[in-house]
Amino acid sequence: MKEFFFNDKKILIKSSNEFDHWDSQFERDLYDFCYEKLPPRGQYKPYIDVDKFIDDENGSYKFNLVKKLNSYGLQIDKSERPSKKCTNKDQFESQLIIGNRLIKKHPLLMGFFSNLSIKSYHAIENAKLILNLNVITHDDFKDILLTNKEIFEQTWTREQSSSERQSGNTVIGSISESLFAESFKPLMQDETFFKVNNNKVSSYGDFIIMCLPNNLWISVKSSNARERLLASGYSNDIIGIGFFKDPKEFSDLKIRNYQKVGFLALYLPDFPVDNKQLEDNTNTYQTYINSKSNITKNQMPTNINGKLFIRPTSILFKDLKNLAENTFSGKVKLTTAATKFKPRFSENLVTSQSFSVMQPNTLVLPERKDRDIAPDRL
């Protein structure tokens, strides 16, 4: 094994001989080539320049990825083809192939490449391995964000193309959703809590918990709320979460607008989400609370159930767990009854009675029981 260090973490990289299975000889050849480029021991940093996989680049590795694939009778996947608008197709194509054929299976290799665009799930899987995490919780968010920030800062040795910048922005945005999805896994044990994959209704939220009388939607945004979070509300019961940076986005006026469109709560990060917060040892939630120091807790914004509207992200998991485990009668756990539901997305969209938009008739449920989940507990 080769040994590397990322701050106080030790990272061991196996040789190809220590793996029992390879999807293709191409994957093994690419792994071997990259393994040989790494020193026996050193810092966890880039040693391999993805640009040099192109034949006409100065100092080319003479390892053309497309030609190598074709030599084994393999073809480039659709996901590995840059768009027609891409201005550096050869470079970006190499990045997509390495991400799909190598990093996807061996995420720890991610930090050894410079000039590489990656997917959010690659970044999270890599951070989990570096930090030795099996399950991600709220307490791990800060370390994962800092780990990826440090890796991203040393990735690029040149100015990025528009496609590469767009790919990076997508990662920053989707890493929020991916992190929350990871932390939700212990609760997503049945069909009552799941990620929304239907494009017809995805604008309403990213996750959904089956509830009666109304389903609870969860909308995830990245660093800024702006109008995109507000647009998720269509008089559905919904909560908003994300790595929001600016507490000024949650003025009393804007909070009233969130409440009008159905939001029950907004969860602000109570951990640093950027360099400035890290240096100042503060976070968005604490800054928001400090701005309300002139009023009492009873004067803080509340939802229609009389509970706090602005909440720290650290209690999100607890709130959702309580929602799923509480009962109406106090005799039966809600999750017991909820697992009997077999939800499906309806193909029909029904017109909202209160807005001139189309609102999804999202879940088809059986007749309500007295022990079903209800969002009025939030």
Per-residue pLDDT for the chain (378 aa), expressed as one digit of tens each? 999 999 999 999 999 999 999 999 999 999 999 999 999 999 999 999 999 999 876 778 999 999 999 999 999 999 999 998 999 999 999 999 999 999 999 999 999 999 999 888 899 999 999 999 998 888 898 899 889 888 988 999 999 998 888 776 556 556 777 888 888 888 887 778 888 887 777 777 888 888 777 788 898 887 666 656 766 656 678 899 988 889 999 999 999 988 888 889 999 999 888 778 877 889 999 999 999 888 877 789 999 888 999 999 999 988 988 876 653 333 333 333 333 333 333 333 333 332 223 333 333 333 434 445 566 778
Distance between CA 253 and CA 242 in Å, rounded?
A: 20
Give 291's contacts (C-beta < 8 A, 6+ positions apart).
247
Q: Do both 339 and 319 map to the same domain? A: yes
| Angle (nearest 5°) at CA 175 between 172 and 179 | 155
Identify whether 301 is preceded by a cis peptide bond (ω within 30 of 0). Answer: no
Number of structural domains in the chain: 2
pTM across the whole model: 0.74
| Predicted local distance difference test score (pLDDT) of residue 156 | 94
Residue where a domain terminates, one of 184, 206, 233: 184
Using the structure block, give the residue that is written with the tokens 């002139």: 294
Residue where a domain terminates, one of 166, 184, 202: 184
Distances (CA, A) of 316 to 87, 219, 257, 262: 42, 13, 22, 18
> Is beta strand 216-221 parallel, antiparallel or unpaired with respect to 207-209?
antiparallel
Phi, psi dihedral angles at 213 (to 5 degrees): -80, -15
Q: Do both 179 and 221 map to the same domain? A: no
Q: Do both 303 and 286 map to the same domain? A: yes
Q: Do both 220 and 287 map to the same domain? A: yes
Dig out the tokens for 44 from the structure.
């966890």
| Predicted local distance difference test score (pLDDT) of residue 290 | 92
Dig out the tokens for 353 from the structure.
């009675």
Q: Do both 246 and 359 map to the same domain? A: yes
Give the bridge partners for 127, in sequence order: none
* Span between the terminal Cα atoms of the chain, in Å: 50
Phi, psi dihedral angles at 6 (to 5 degrees): -120, 100
Dig out the tokens for 83 from the structure.
């768009």
Q: Do both 163 and 271 map to the same domain? A: no
Q: Do both 217 and 98 map to the same domain? A: no
Q: Do both 198 and 167 map to the same domain? A: no
Distance between CA 97 and CA 377 in Å, rounded?
A: 47
Question: Do residues 155 and 114 touch, judged by C-beta distance below 8 A?
Answer: yes
Distances (CA, A) of 364 to 133, 320, 328: 37, 22, 22
Among residues 2, 317, 270, 8, the alpha carbon closest in space to that of 132 is found at: 8
Q: Do both 176 and 207 map to the same domain? A: no
Q: Do both 180 and 197 map to the same domain? A: no
Domain containing 163: what range? 2-184
Q: Do both 171 and 252 map to the same domain? A: no
Residue where a domain terminates, one of 153, 184, 215: 184
Distance between CA 270 and CA 136 in Å, rounded?
A: 16
The strand ranges marked E within the chain are: 2-6, 9-13, 41-43, 48-49, 113-114, 193-195, 207-209, 216-221, 237-242, 263-268, 310-312, 349-351, 358-360
Distance between CA 99 and CA 317 in Å, rounded?
A: 32
Half-sphere exposure for 278 (CA within 13 Å, toward CB)? 8
The strand ranges marked E within 309-369 are: 310-312, 349-351, 358-360
| Predicted local distance difference test score (pLDDT) of residue 103 | 96
* DSSP secondary structure code for residue 160 in this structure: P
Question: Do residues 122 and 103 touch, judged by C-beta distance below 8 A?
Answer: yes
Q: Do both 198 and 173 map to the same domain? A: no
| Predicted local distance difference test score (pLDDT) of residue 135 | 86
